[in-house]
Amino acid sequence: MPDRRREWLARAAADAAVMVRAPGRVNLIGDHTDYQDGLCLPVAIDRDVLVAAAPRGDATIRAVSDAIDGEAAVDIADPPRASGASWSIGIAGVVGALHELGIAMTGARLALASSVPVGSGLSSSAACNVAVSMALSCLAGTDLHGDELARCAQRAEHLVGVPCGIMDQMASVHGRRGHALRIDCRSLQVEPIPLPTDLAIVVVHSGLPRALATSEYAARRAACEAAAARIGVPTLRDADLDSVRDDPIARHVVSENHRVEQLVGALRANDHAVIGAVLDTSHASLADDFRVSTPELDQLCAQLRAAGAIGARLTGAGFGGCVVALAPAAGAEEIARVAARRYRAATALRPTAFVANSADGAEVMGPRGSPAGG
C-alpha cells in the first residue's frame, strides 16, 4: 500500500478496531453474461479499497473517504436512512443488505481509502461494498465470507437501483494471485486458472466517462431477458447458437460463453495466437452485436494491437471506461505507453495506462493493516 493511503487511514481512523481490504477486478472475457447465468473470467487486481472501522456508541454509521468529498451518514433503521454526502446512499445499500441477513449492527466510524479508479469499469463500487460489508459484519461479530459476502455486496447494489450481476463481487471476494477466475454465475463455482507468466495484463482507461452506463446496462439486461423468454429458456445460458443466430443481443451472450471456455483452454496451453484471436472476437461481438462499445474504445483496442498486444477488448459494462489487453510481459509497459500516446494524439482524450498485477481476494487485516492472525 502506498504510504500516502496508509498515513491517511492512520489519521482518519486512529482507533480502528478492524481493517479490511477488497480488490477491484479486470475482466479478461465474459462480459454481459453474468446476469444470464453465464461464464466469465475476471482477475482481482492490486488496486483495492481499504476500510478501517471503529464502533460508535449510537446507531449511526459515519464514513469518510480519501477519494470522495463529504461525510456519509446512515442511521441503522430498517430501512436505513441516508443523510449527509451523496455517497451515503451506497453505504445505506450495504446496511440494508446486512439487515436482510439478520446481522445486528452497531454504530460505526468508517474510513475508506481506495486505489481503484472510480467509475472506470474496474469495479470500484463492488470493492467498496465488499469491504464495507466485511467491516460492518466484523464489528457485529459475524464472519461474513465467500459467496454469502459476494451476494450481500451485490444485493447492496440492487437495493440502490443498480441491476448488476455477480461477477464483480465474486472476483473481489475469491481473487487469487497469479490466477484468473473462471466463474460459473449459475452454480457460483469458481475455478482458478493460472495466468501465463510470460504475459502481462495491460489496462488502459480511455479517458471517456461511462456515459449512459446505468440506463443502457438495464436496457441490455432487459433485452436479454426478453430474448430468453422468446426462445423459451430460463436464461440465455440455456440457449444454443442455432436458436440465437438472428438475434444479435442473444448471439453475443451465447457466443461469449463459448469464448470464455476457449480462452480458458488457450491460457492453459499458453497459445498466444488463440488467446489474441478470442479477445479480439469478444470485442467485436460487444461492439457489433451487443452495441456497448464506442468509437474511442474501438480505436484504443486497435492501438494496443498495433503496438504489440496479442489481443484487446473493452472490459466491464462498456460505454467508456477501460479496455484490457494481454501483452508479452517483457514489452508490456512500452506497449501501453505507445498505444496511449497514439490514442491521445488521435482523440485528444487523456488515457491512463497501467500494467495490472493479479491479487488475492478480500481479507480481514489487523487494525494496523497486517493480515489478521498473521
Which chain residues interact with ligand GLA by CB under 6 A? 31-32, 34-35, 164-165, 167-168, 316-317
Output DSSP code: residue 16: -
List the strands of the sheet with 189-194, edge to edge.
Answer: 39-40, 179-184, 189-194
3-class DSSP state of 362 = coil
Nearer to ligand GLA, 51 or 185 (CB): 185
Smallest gap from Cβ 3 to ligand GLA, in A, equals 31
Nearer to ligand GLA, 35 or 354 (CB): 35
Residues 6+ apart with CB under 8 A from 304: 202, 204, 312, 323, 325, 327, 335, 336, 339
Residues 6+ apart with CB under 8 A from 218: 163
Element at 27 (helix H, strand E): strand 18-27
Distance CA 2, CA 367 (A): 17
Q: Tell which phi-psi region holds residue 277, choosing left (phi > 0), alpha (psi between -120 and 50) or beta.
A: alpha
Grid cell listed for 92: 445505506
Nearer to ligand GLA, 96 or 321 (CB): 321
Nearer to ligand GLA, 33 or 303 (CB): 33
Looking at beta carbons, which residue is closest to ligand GLA?
Answer: 165
Nearer to ligand GLA, 161 or 366 (CB): 161
Output DSSP code: residue 289: I
Nearer to ligand GLA, 30 or 207 (CB): 30
Options 34, 37, 168, 247, the catalytic residue? 168
Output DSSP code: residue 40: E
Element at 72 (helix H, strand E): strand 72-75
User: Locate cell 452497531: which residue?
Assistant: 106
CA distances to 21, 91, 186, 316 from 131, rounded to whole Å, are: 6, 11, 24, 20
Distance CA 6, CA 43 (A): 24
Smallest gap from Cβ 217 to ligand GLA, in A, equals 7
State the DSSP string of 186-209.
Answer: TTTEEEEEEPPTTEEEEEEE-S--
Grid cell listed for 11: 489519521
Per the annotation, the verdict on 15 as an active-site residue is no
Distance CA 48, CA 44 (A): 9
Smallest gap from Cβ 168 to ligand GLA, in A, equals 5
Closest CA to 135 of 78, 63, 73: 63
Output DSSP code: residue 143: -
Distance CA 230, CA 12 (A): 53
Q: Calculate ∠ Cα 361-171-112, nearest 5°.
A: 60
**Which residues are tagged catalytic?**
168
